Amino acid sequence: MTSLSNHDIIELTAWRRTLHTMPEVSGEEVETAREVVRFLKETGPDAIVENLGGTGVAVIYDSGVPGPSVMIRAELDALPIEELGEPEYRSKIAGKSHMCGHDGHMATLAGVGRALGRERPKTGRAILLFQPAEENGAGAAAVIADDKFDALTPDFSLSLHNMPGVRFGHVWLKDGPANCASRGMKIVLTGKTAHAAYPETGTSPVSAVAQLMPALNALSVGTVSEGNLVRATVTHASIGEPTVGVAPGHGEIWVTLRTSTDDQMAALVDKAETMAREAAEANGLVLSVDYQDVFGHCVNDPEAATILRTAMDAESVTYEPGEGFRASEDFGRFGAVSKSAMLFLGAGENHPAPHNPNYDFPDDLIPIGSRIFLRAIRNTLG
């Protein structure tokens, strides 16, 4: 089996750092996608599909022999976070940075592409998907909805996410729920302003907001490790305008809803909406509810997870079930069209957490991730 050379790893590391300097947020990954195409063209793939679900790129290595399709996914997008670390390759874009490690995930897939360019699978196809807009939950759905994806629909979809807090190079991988479902809920309560001297002539949201904030937080129960996590976290609230002369007529509460499974999310949404509706009715307010950043759960299929475990056995990578991941991941949507599984690759127990402004992807994870995926492809396709 063709493997990566030390020279490959040096070049992949340099490329990862180049990507780190040029972050683009969800839906804006034009230059990042162009750079992926440029870098992977050198490997001589059988096809490259561009503008997939927006800015997505699929790089295909086809054996020409009938067989299954194995897709490995990485993410193109960065975050709207100002980088506070000081690497030589720090972000050149003010207010944007790769603080989740998607630059490293892309480099990991590029390593797989280098090896596949030298030696095709014996059967079927290997598809490397560079997906847009993971951070806002829109990208995977857009890719799947794109007509161009119909010809690419895989039998197996595999992915990884680096995991600070887990021993370096060790993997968490479990069957069943792996990433939580989540969504942002915006509750708007509309009444009527009044002169602050005569508040009784208006309709104020103050009591409803004061009631709802602790009540919503109190919906939280369970743990991610037991697969029954339910979390409601108030992230923002506002009432009226910053003035002392006007009693408020408008209030907002923003809350993140998070659960282990989609079924639990449906139940939590019902409870939160009922609570908001009852508070609005009791206080004579008009209620509106909107949602954003909607993520479904990510569930590891046992067969797909076994492919990854078998690959890690062959590559002497240590793994354990670990816990599920509280953060959401739109990779779970590929579970509706294929057997899918995601592993969490340890970035070190004391490594800065994702979305911290001083986070940086550990370059030494690139060859580990590439080896796991390449072995999974060879074991499945030959």
Pick the closest to residue 112 from 1, 4, 39 (CA basis): 4
Has residue 64 got a pLDDT over 90? Answer: yes
The pLDDT-based confidence of 156 (bands split at 50, 70, 90) is very high
Q: What is the pLDDT of residue 48?
A: 98
Q: What is the mean pLDDT of residues 368-377?
A: 98
Q: What is the pLDDT of residue 1?
A: 65
Q: What is the mean pLDDT of residues 83-108?
A: 97
Domains recognised in the chain with CATH numbers: 6-178+298-381 (3.40.630.10), 181-295 (3.30.70.360)
Which range has the worst mean pLDDT, 43-57, 219-233, 256-270, 306-320? 219-233
Q: What is the pLDDT of residue 194?
A: 97
pLDDT in tens, 330-367: 999 999 999 999 999 999 999 999 999 999 999 999 99
Residues 209, 153: Cα–Cα separation, whole Å: 46
The secondary structure element, H or E, covering residue 381 is: helix 365-381
Sheet holding 47-52, edge to edge: 47-52, 56-62, 125-131, 69-75, 156-164, 339-348, 171-172, 319-320
Has residue 257 got a pLDDT over 80? Answer: yes
Residues 273, 278: Cα–Cα separation, whole Å: 9
Q: What is the pLDDT of residue 174?
A: 92
Q: What is the pLDDT of residue 226?
A: 83
pLDDT in tens, 119-129: 999 999 999 99
Residue tagged 């990954």 (tokens): 29
Q: What is the pLDDT of residue 225?
A: 81
First and final C-alpha spacing in the chain: 9
pLDDT in tens, 168-222: 999 999 999 899 999 999 999 999 999 999 999 999 999 999 999 999 999 999 9
Q: What is the pLDDT of residue 326?
A: 87
Q: What is the pLDDT of residue 59?
A: 98
The model's pTM: 0.91
Query: Using an 8 Å Cβ cutoff, are 271 and 152 in contact?
Result: no
Percent of the chain exceeding pLDDT 70 equals 99
Q: What is the pLDDT of residue 340?
A: 98
